[in-house]
Amino acid sequence: TSGLAEELLKELYTAYEIKDSPKYPSLDERITIAKTQDSLVSTYIKIFETANYAMLTQEYDLAVECYDYVITKFQSREIYNNYGVALYLKGVTMSDQEDIKYIYPIEIDLGSLKNSEGSKGMGDDVKGVFEQAIKMFEHAVERDKKYYTATLNIACVYSVLRDYRKAKFY
């Protein structure tokens, strides 16, 4: 709807013969509100895209910071998924490479969880990052139960944590 609100509102007011009322915002006020919201959404999109570019350059801390900001203003399955991927990749870079033997098909999209005892060799800080990634992926699935990208990503993180029972479940 970007850029269409003013024209739409004017046509609605004309078609339904709506007159300004002191009880409600005037047509001009509604147009101003719509333009302000359009500007905010545009800003959030730019921050989301910045986070995606940060992922490509392996600037995971910046990506996490950007996704964290956007998620406080607007929630969607894609934002939660990409936030989870950023946390997952941050955890991978923090971990000893011996801990993660495989390349997982984790996918970026344009409750407290406990790990099994099998994730030895990872410090609590690394496990914590992976747990945050799982939470973001779960938020994505909550928004769309058939969003299999995030479900696959959850399985990958549990596999990295060597919780194969949960990985197999997902």
Q: What is the pLDDT of residues 12-55, one digit of tens each?
A: 999 999 999 999 999 999 999 999 999 998 899 899 999 999 99
Q: What is the pLDDT of residues 67-95, one digit of tens each?
A: 999 999 989 999 999 999 999 999 999 98
Confirm whether pTM is higher than 0.85.
Answer: no
Dist CA 165 CA 170 (whole Å): 9
Banded pLDDT at 97 (limits 50, 70, 90): low
Structure tokens at 44: 């959030």
Compute the Cα dihedral for 22, 23, 26, 27 and give only its sign: negative
In DSSP notation, 116-166 reads -TT-TT--HHHHHHHHHHHHHHHHHHHH-TT-HHHHHHHHHHHHHTT-HHH
Q: CA-to-CA distance for 128 and 95, rounded, in angstroms?
A: 12
Q: What angle do CA 141, 145, 83 make, to 5 degrees?
A: 15
Distance separating alpha carbons of residues 97 and 140, to the nearest angstrom:
28
Q: Which pLDDT band holds residue 103 (cuts at 50, 70, 90)?
A: confident
Longest CA span, the chain = 70
Helix boundaries (H) for 19-122: 27-56, 60-73, 77-94
